[in-house]
Structure 1
Amino acid sequence: MVKQLDDNLPPLIDHIGWRLTRLSRLWKAEFDAAMVARGHDWMTQAQGSVVGHLRNAGVPQGKLAGLLGISKQAVQQHVDDLVALGVVERVPDPADARARLVRLTEKGAAALGDSNAIKLDIEARYRARLGDDAFAALEQALDQLSEAGSGTTS
């Protein structure tokens, strides 16, 4: 016989984690829909995360695994997919003849520009809804929590 736990379960509490998760999901859904509308549906998939880590000169492919927190094999697949789409290219690393840099193509740079515009548009709507002072306070609070990291558990 299985003991019923329903009467003994602790209550579900409303907490900051739920609020942050809900807002993150809403933001991501809005961002993804706008990117799809601009023809960048690939940006809404896992490989799109690579783009945010690329700089003008490019990034060594081996470094992307650490930046993304994923395996080198996953990075390889993402970069292969993005190369096939014409979003990034692999070029020789002038500092290391054995290494390759991953950098944006013109198509990738255009998508990054669109993503920046979308992010600023979403941010402007949040600012308009909260007001300048409350929005600035939210940014400051989020930055403080991020800088503090996970902290310690008691």
Structure 2
Amino acid sequence: MSSPDAPGFELPLRLLLGFRVIIDELHAELARRGHPDLKPMYGFACQAIGPGVTAVELGRKMGVSKQAAGKTIDQLTKLGYVERATDPHDARRKIVRLTPRGIESLTLAAEIFDQIRARWVKTLGADRVRAMEQDLRTMTPPDPFQLDMPRWFGTF
């Protein structure tokens, strides 16, 4: 147990550890529910793909090269989470979009995140969880969907 005067380096480590605990639990549950091949980075990619993007757009959103985005798209295609298609508005443009399996994985992930948060509320109390979330909103940028984590961590 740390003291109220914990060293400054502990805060980012605890925040990262909390993130890791939640993401590990999410992916263990996704695996139990039929998505054993989904990796955390694939979740970032599926969120970034949304209704459809090109490989260049995906790379830009994730903060990685077009080639790195293309490799991720290849893997997600093999796993059945995305498909390549011709843009209906521009036949020269190739887009990547989620398949029903990809949409299902995001829907399940949202459900599982809600269950995880509910357990945190049960353990810590609703007021403390709400206060923690509000404090993090105060200290972080307004857009929580910073999908360029792979680049930031130097994954690519």
TM-score normalised to structure 1 length: 0.78
Asked whether 1:118 is paired with 2:126, we answer no
Letter in 2 for 1:143: R
| Aligned twin of 1:18 | 13
Q: After TM superposition, where is structure 1 displaced by more than 6 Å over at least 4 residues in a row? A: none
Letter in 2 for 1:132: A
| Aligned twin of 1:46 | 41
Q: Is contact 1:60-1:93 (8 Å) kept? A: no
CA offsets 1:111-131 (integer angstroms, 9 cap, x no match): 111111111111111122222
Give the secondary-structure state (helix, strand or coil) at the position aligned to 1:42: coil
Summarize the alignment of residues 53-72 of structure 1 with structure 2, pairs less than 5 Å apart.
53-56=48-51, 58-72=52-66
Structure 1 vs Structure 2: percent identity of aligned residues?
Answer: 34
Letter in 1 for 2:18: L
* Gap change, CA 1:111 and 1:25, over 3 Å in 2: same
Determine which structure has greater relative contact order: mean sequence separation of CA pairs < 8 Å that are 6+ residues apart, divided by chain length. Answer: 2
CA offsets 1:32-91 (integer angstroms, 9 cap, x no match): 2111111212222533421111223x1222111111111211110111111122211112
Give the secondary-structure state (helix, strand or coil) at the position aligned to 1:100: strand
| Aligned twin of 1:140 | 134
User: Is the radius of gyration larger for structure 1 or structure 2?
Assistant: 1
| Aligned twin of 2:70 | 76
Letter in 2 for 1:68: M
TM-score normalised to structure 2 length: 0.77
Whole-Å Cα distance in 1 between the matches of residues 118 and 26 of structure 2?
13
Q: Any stretches of 5+ residues in structure 2 without a counterpart?
A: 1-6, 144-156
How many positions carry a matched residue from both structures? 137
Specify which of 15, 24, 33 is matched with residue 28 of structure 2: 33
Give the secondary-structure state (helix, strand or coil) at the position aligned to 2:48: coil
